[in-house]
Structure 1
Amino acid sequence: MKKSKYAKFLPEAIEIYEKQTTKSAVQAAKEIYKKYQITSNFDTFRLAISKMIRLNNTEVKPKAKQRTKKTEAQPFVLSAWNFKTGEMMDVDEYCEFYKLPRADVKSYKLVSHTGTPYYNILFKEVEEIAKDLTAEYIAAAIKKYAKPVLYKKPAPTKTNLVDRIVYTDAHIGMEPNKSGFSLYGGNWGETELMDQLHQMVNFIVAEKKGNKLIIDDLGDYLDGWNGETVRKGHSLPQNMDNQAMFDVGVKFKIEMVDMLVQHYPEIEIHNICEDNHAGAFGYVVNSAFKQLVELKYKNVKVVNCRKFINHYYEGNHCFVISHGKDSKNLKFGFKPHLDAKQIEKIDQYLKQNQIFKKADYIEFSKGDSHQMLFDYCTSDDFDYMNYLAFSPSSEWVQTNFKKGRSGFILQHINPKENFKVVKPYFFTNNFKKVS
């Protein structure tokens, strides 16, 4: 066999490959390519390095280890093989089967040499994110959540109510005390986030009234990308890098469903993915979550909302949901208090979508303001609901405004009647005194 001109890089590539937890030959090739500023085409170099690493693993390792390797867990991928027809799916079938947005696919490549064939897909609005959160990294990061969960679907009880939980502005990755001298200090890491998740789940279960649970995440789920908001130009103090925010963001939502699915026969989730902090990064996290949770559970539905304003119906109720500020167009978003321009904007949306004809009771739900202000009177046509933040206040907010409160809202709704009970929950341990 002809020796590759890149063979001199093989020992270092193998060393990098063996140190990785994900065992990615592509990542090893990428590090060497960058380190030595190689001018050859990267795809050519990558394929050569990957092939040499694969041959090395086959030829050098003893047979006993080869047999052991067969039992190792493989990276989780969405298989492109159609087991019903015995043929490979084309990209259209693949997107339809896994509920991926085909219209947003910019490019794709069928990867068939890994044992399980899959499509490596690049979406239009996430090119920048794809450079950091590669397909290999995402597959390895979510592999631990892909295993089916043994659970018994709860039997429905006799009730005419539906439960709805609303949280917003989780700002995963935000550092509220970067300087060490913020007015109220505080910690906001994975530990605090997961602690509040368990408080929320315990409250939902204790107050459960319905057989169906609606969960609305109104945006700014992640604090930003590369230490800035998605709009750029606004530096943010953060305590996680992009990959850590991805890991924690997926973990939070998977664990939330894992706990709640034991208590509700049906769960429907709406995630706002058009906001001013997370933007396309939030969509990537919510897309990974959607694929995983809908594979694990048949009674869970996830809707990722990519428009600035979205809506859904529950019986005679319509819930219009928005973060309140978008990723690029709006200089000023929806205010905590309605004014004439905002009423007109919402009214036009309701008319355009014929919501007045289809629903008797309408709520406009928004986040962004980090304030709980519920306005039932300014408009006779809809309720205007500002939801408080799930996260504590940032250092900037502490300095410019106040410490504030954080929490979430639970509602009990009668789909057929004008009945809606609103129950706020405030976290009491957001700020721990810093000595």
Structure 2
Amino acid sequence: MPADLAVLGLGHLGLPAARTATAAGIGTIGYDPDARAVAELNAGRPPAGTGLSAAEVRRMLSAGFRATSDPAVLEKVRTALICAPTPPGEDRAPGMGAVRAAVLTLGERLRPRTTVVVESTVRPGDTEGYVAPLLEKASGLRAGRDFHLACAPSRLDPGNRTHGYANTPRVIGGLTPACTEAAAALYGRLTEKVVRARGVREAEMTAVLETNYRHVNIALVNEMAVLCHDLGVDLWDVIRCAETKPFGFQAFRPGPGVGGHGAPVDPALLDRGERTPGYPLRLVEAAQEANARMPRYVAQRAAALLNEYGKSARGARVLLLGVTYKADLADQAGSPAPEIALRLLEMGAQIGYHDPHVPQWQVAGRPVPRADSLYESAAAADLTLLLQHHRVYDLQSLSAKAQLLLDTRGAGPSGAAHRL
């Protein structure tokens, strides 16, 4: 099958896109500069954090998909998706190094009438103000005139068995109306519903609103968790009652921190020094602070629980269950587990971990012992601390084996463990 679509970046964004396109009968090639990762992928072994199984990758390969680190393949495609990672930097702004490299690689081989779509997480204004100039300089072509350029921010929820790439509506905004329609023609084959934004910045800002909505609401319920614990109120029962309201309420649940690839975005990070917005999103800043406090709070709760049962955190054996950011995935992006582990180590605790998806784990450059036998390790630990509720964890059985069990996810039945 000749390649018509190129997906640049074969991580948690690019590989699901390539899989969906291949399943739709679109000739798809995947480009990634990491030759080793490409070789693993072509051998049927997906990288961690993509949510794809080896069987799914093998089916992609059988349907004609191939990955490569040779940029020459980009010369013949008519559509290209920029799916390079943008991990947040120290200022929480998306790191654009991988996007820049992908855009320049594509730009040097860009042909007229090609459609380029940015799926990578970018700041509002970056598709037009950052990606377009790089493509134009590298190719000698004009965005919106010689080639189409649009943004379709990712809406992936890794591990979600109900909403996947194909049945989640996609928002698309182009540099021009023709750019929007060119991108919509592609996504009309990949998803059940395409939502056209007024322009490219509206599409980019949609992702900002969705991400900030998640973080602000998680921050609210995290602060409620601390308040309810101090007042002796069962927050989990409060949430159970509140979510029966058929309007005006959506249930969020607390946890040890907020992980994932999408970081909350403040307007101060939106422009590249061109102007300073006059109205900062104070709720977003407050939410970031509230969520950032949770790992410290969890470590303090662990120490207080040990003390309540006559044990000191110093010298205590603490078993951490689940160190990934999301249940039943290997992705550790933004997981609060390393900070919680480090704070416990600073208290003098001896930590071990168990996670079926993470064969090796380090904290501050030091390897953490992995528990081979879950129940024996829980029985031997002074405190078992559930950070992520993978399906393999039976909280009822664990509570019977563990000396002390602190459930930060409210995953077990009431009374089975101490809850956040």
TM-score normalised to structure 1 length: 0.26
Higher Rg: 1
